[in-house]
C-alpha cells in the first residue's frame, strides 16, 4: 500500500525566513503534485513534477522531485502572510492521486 508522508504537519513560520516541507512516498512514481488549500476551500494546483530531478519555481515557492529517494520538497523563501494555508503533496500512481496528510502553515510577523 502506497504511503505518502509529509513533515512537518504544522509549521509556524516567521515572516522573511526560509522553510522546507518534505514529502516522502513508499512506491516508485515519477509524477508528483503540490496543492494549496485555504480553509473551507478546494485544492489549488501549485506544481506538477513529472520526472526525476524536476524543479519548478513560482514566486516564493520552489518544488523539486527526487524519484530515486522518493522525496519531494517544497521550499518557501522569505515567508509572507499570504502563504498561510495547508499544503498537500500527492503521488500519482496509475493516474490516481494519493495525498499526504498536509502541512498547515501559519506565517507570523
Partner 1 sequence: ETGVTQSPTHLIKTRGQQVTLRCSSQSGHNTVSWYQQALGQGPQFIFQYYREEENGRGNFPPRFSGLQFPNYSSELNVNALELDDSALYLCASSLDGAGGYTFGSGTRLTVV
Please state the closest distance from residue 11 (CB atom) to partner 1, in A. 15
By CB under 8 A, residue 99 contacts partner 1: yes
| d(C-alpha 23, C-alpha 102), whole Å | 9
Q: What is the largest CA-CA distance in the chain?
A: 42
Provide the sign of the torsion angle of the four alpha carbons 40, 99, 70, 51, taken in this order.
negative
Site for partner 1 in 38-57 (CB under 8 A): 40-43, 45, 48, 50
By CB under 8 A, residue 78 contacts partner 1: no
Cell digits for 54? 524536476
Q: Which is nearer to partner 1, 14 or 27 (CB)?
A: 27
- Residues counted in the chain: 109
Chain residues binding partner 1 by CB under 8 A are: 4, 31, 33, 35, 40-43, 45, 48, 50, 88, 90, 92, 94-102
Amino acid at each position: 500500500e502506497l504511503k505518502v508522508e509529509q513533515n512537518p504537519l504544522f509549521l509556524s513560520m516567521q515572516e522573511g525566513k526560509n522553510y522546507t516541507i518534505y514529502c516522502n512516498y513508499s512506491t516508485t512514481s515519477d509524477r508528483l503534485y503540490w496543492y494549496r488549500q485555504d480553509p473551507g476551500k478546494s485544492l489549488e494546483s501549485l506544481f506538477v513534477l513529472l520526472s526525476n530531478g524536476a524543479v519548478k519555481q513560482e514566486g516564493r515557492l520552489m518544488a523539486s522531485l527526487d524519484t530515486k529517494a522518493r522525496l519531494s520538497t517544497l521550499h518557501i523563501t522569505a515567508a509572507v502572510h499570504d502563504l498561510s494555508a495547508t499544503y498537500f503533496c500527492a503521488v500519482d500512481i496509475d493516474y490516481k492521486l494519493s495525498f499526504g496528510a498536509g502541512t498547515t502553515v501559519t506565517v507570523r510577523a
